[in-house]
Structure formats: C-alpha cells, structure tokens
Structure 1
Amino acid sequence: IGLFRDAFTTATELIDDLPPGTFSKQDAQRADFLIDDDGEVFVSELSELQKFFLEFSLANLSRPPVVVIDNIDYLRESADRARAWAGILIYQQMRRTRDPEDPLTVIVSCEDSSELDIATSSLGSRTEPSVLELELPPHLPAQRGSKH
C-alpha cells in the first residue's frame, strides 16, 4: 500500500504544479483507489477509473518492462480516459526518473486517442512519452468458403 500511496502522492504533487485549467488535485483523488488511510475498501465499491488504476498498479508490482492495456475505451467518460492516460504517463515518467535502466513500455489499444492528446498537452514537458500510433486496416468480412 505504501508504494501505491507514494505514486499517488507524487502524481498529486506533479499535478499541483500544472497550470490552471489542466488536471487538478481532484483528478488525482478521483483516481485514488486507496479510499481511506488504511486502504480498506472493496473492489466492488470502486469507480471504473479506480478499478483501472488498481489493475494498472497490480500489473506493475513486479516492475515488468512492458504492460499491455487492451481497450482503454472501456472507461466510458472522456474525462476518465484523459485521467487514465495522464496516470499512465506520470507513472511511466516516475519510473524512468527513479530507475533509468529499467524504463516501462506501455502498449495501449484504443479506438480514439484524443484523450492521450489532452493528457500530453496538459502535462507538457513533465512527461516525455514516445508515442507511436498504428492504424489498423478495416476488418473485412470473411469470404464464403474461406477458412478464416
């Protein structure tokens, strides 16, 4: 719990330094899945954003070199997707700063990356992601008699 709390504290401090009108301390609090000081909360009581960050945190416990997030669009609210992207970028930057020899690569699938643009422009130079967007070809229906 201490590691998670430290990550949220660092994110909140970074967010506090942002210009007005970008992300706020309330955004970090909305994402915090450690609702109380003891970390005593049921997963069923968490918002979708809090569940996202819980899953992301658990995936990073062993400090893997790569984390894959399938369909960040399951977060229904655009603001929550922007918060999720910001959290990913902040954590990635924290890890790069603390251990430059062990950076984190994050692969995320999404239908629309506009919230990533919001997060990167809001965070500015505080995070330095390398973003590579891949356009997938449209899915073609299988031909009759095809084995696919």
Structure 2
Amino acid sequence: MPVVVIGADRPLGGALVLALVELGVPDLRAVVRDRAYAPALRAAGVRVSVGDLSDPLRLGAVLEGAHTVVHLDTGPEGSGGPLDTWDWLLEAAEDTGLTRIVTVVEDERISPDRGGYDVVLLPGRITRSCGGATDAVDPALVSALIEADRRR
C-alpha cells in the first residue's frame, strides 16, 4: 500500500524518502513545496507532487489509496512544524482511505486531533534548510519513522 512523505524537500523528509527507496518500499509518493527537489526524487523512482497543504483537493488526490502519510511539512517558509499544518492535512485526508499519520513533535505533551486516524507521534525536531544549506539529520529519527511505517 502506498506511503506518502509530505515535506520531502526538507532535510528530514528527503533523508526518509531516500531510506525508504533503499528499503524497496513500493509506491512511494512525495510532496514537495520546492520543485527543484522533484527531479532527483523522480530519478529515484518516487512519484512526486509539487504543492503544499493549503490545497486540500490536490493533496487529497496524492493521498488517495495511501495507507500511511509521514507528515513532515514545516509550514510556509519552513516557519513552523507539522502541527501548524495539521488541520489542512486532516481536511485533505477525508475520504481518501488513509489509515495512519506519522509525524514528529517537539513537545510530546501536545496531542493533535486524531481525526479517526491511527496517529503515531515521534518526539524530535525537524531541522530546516537555511539558505540552501542542509542541516544534519538525526539517523535515529529516520529509523524511528521507518519503524512507525512498518507497524502496518
């Protein structure tokens, strides 16, 4: 069943997509805001959608039939975290067949509306790209995201 990674143009999202490709995950989909990342992901065999979560119909089409979405979008201009765009994700996911949402939260005490989905919240911090430079990615967090997807 398809897996979608939202925020694949961020350091953590990109590292996760490449790790999932290496593991041979079939029907891997990625959502990026910056179209410059699309060619490399497509070359790796990933279906890529360029856009953001503010268009629920477009994102809903990407989520259609997916089992798991790993939501790593940090909001417009990379200014926030996945919970800042959580409501947009839930709106887009309606009637798509989505089962699980996996995301990273900096404060484990915050629990978003689960919207009837199996939600996996992993403690961590999403690093952001600054001026084109890529910040380091925590390999343990990438492993935890992969393991969260395997729970299906």
Q: TM-score, normalised by structure 1?
A: 0.31
Structure possessing the higher radius of gyration over alpha carbons: 1
Q: Which has the higher helix share?
A: 1
Q: Which has the higher strand share?
A: 2
Q: TM-score, normalised by structure 2?
A: 0.31
